[in-house]
Copies of this chain bind each other. A is one copy, B any other.
Amino acid sequence: MTNNQTIVALATPNGTGAIGIIRLSGPEAITIANSVFKGKDLTKQPSHTIHFGSIADGDIILDEVLVSLFVGPRSYTRENVVEISCHGSAYIIESIIKLLIKKGARSAKAGEFTLRAFLNGQLDLSQAEAVADLIASNSKASQQVALNQLRGGFSNQLQALRDQLVQFASLIELELDFAEEDVEFANRDQLKKLINEINRVIGNLIRSFELGNAIKQGVNTVIAGRPNAGKSTLLNALLNEERAIVSHIPGTTRDTIEEVLNIQGINFRLIDTAGIREATDAIEQLGVQRTMEKISQSALLIYLFDAAQITIEELQQDIESLQKPGINMLLVANKSDLPEQSSTLSDFRASGLSDFLSISAKERLHIDELKNKIYTSAIKDQLTGDETLVTNIRHLEALQKTEEALIRVLSGMDSVTSDFLSMDIKQALHYLGEITGAVTTDDLLENIFSKFCIGK
């Protein structure tokens, strides 16, 4: 990957809009732009200024444009950057990009601007990934987590961990230099304590992934229950409260995902398949597998029942058959507005079933309480404000590999020689470094940046 070429791409979405922004980055960005610009001499203008003029291919004017100049290193990529704001016609945009390529630029690959920002030290790797997350963010929480990561919160914590490990490693290395003398520079008890501390923090980060991922991707939430339990009424009750921020999600999963409910900035995708609706009737029948698949893909299951229409045995049987590891289940008794419910619920409680919430979907009673429960089931006690959340599967894997390497260090500490210890520590350092980009390979970079959109 060389930085000596000047790259060009459309930075705004495809489609017709008022304006389109074409972005150039590289050593020749300003001179190439200047060679097609009729107006002021762009090479003589200061950074962070905007200039009106036209883009011309010889005598043929392609468009009237505004050109924004960013003289490196005061730019996103730390290279010279030019942004051409033209009329938002696909034809005009294509013509200008073609012309810039003719004048010496080349088409940027996906994520190449951000890759350059990373290679030039403007961003570390987890910050670069945060840019992609920020662009993809679709809720307040996912945007805040990505922004926090972009602003370095995540990287800083990892860097601090890594520094501690480096210190550890250097002491062990020192021992290797004096291997014949059998000295111990690294106090093993202190090192154990340090590794345990590091593992504690890494463990927290690993555990934060469940929440981080929920925030980034949204939480799949199935509403299940026997027919006439009031599931549709509940869906409406949940959605109507905040209809303004309810949205339909189009696309391939449309047939299973029905509505998105945003609670305190987190998206819950309420899934309400026909299969689930009939789940209790069909539990031992043909549809059961498909129903269970939907549930197994969910993080949260809201089981709704009407106490007047179900026995405690049927209820317990349903709960048992629906319960899956890794899925939170919320038990909700509906129709609390009906007078006969309260005595039945007392009976249920007497039989040992107490951990349920009683609501009336129809009368909108205790719906906010239910929402709080839904939110809490996803968030638990983890979201306190500025904490670091892991949202990226690549980071999770690197953290898990770090943890494994550190456990190897711990278990081998008293039995293996310093060179084996050193190797395990170096591996842990390697995996941590992969997150911030202190350690990179071309494959890794290719893998990360190819998922970006072109123009970023």
Contacts and interface: CB of A to CB of B under 8 A. Distances in A.
Interface string A243-256: 00000000000000
Contacts of A21: 12, 19, 21, 85
Interface residues of A, number: 52
Interface string A129-152: 001001111111011100100110
A87 B14 contact: no
A87 B147 CA distance: 10
Contacts of A89: 134-138, 143
Interface of A is mostly: mixed
A102 interface: no
Contacts of A90: 138
A143 B91 contact: yes
A316 interface: no
Nearest to A137: B89
Contact of A50 (B14, B70, B136, B137): B70
A362 interface: no
A194 interface: no
Interface in A1-57: 10-21, 23, 48-51
B61 A147 contact: yes
A444 interface: no
Contacts of A12: 12-13, 17-21, 88
B92 A143 contact: yes
A419 B15 CA distance: 54
A49 B15 CA distance: 28
A185 to B, nearest CB: 44
B87 A135 contact: yes
Given A12-B17, A12-B21, A144 B64 contact: no
A51 B48 contact: yes
Sorted nearest first, the 7 A-B pairs with minimum C-beta distance are A18-B456, A13-B17, A13-B15, A12-B12, A18-B455, A48-B50, A11-B18
Interface of A: 10-21, 23, 48-51, 60-64, 68, 70, 83, 85, 87-92, 95, 113, 131, 134-140, 142-144, 147, 150-151, 453-456
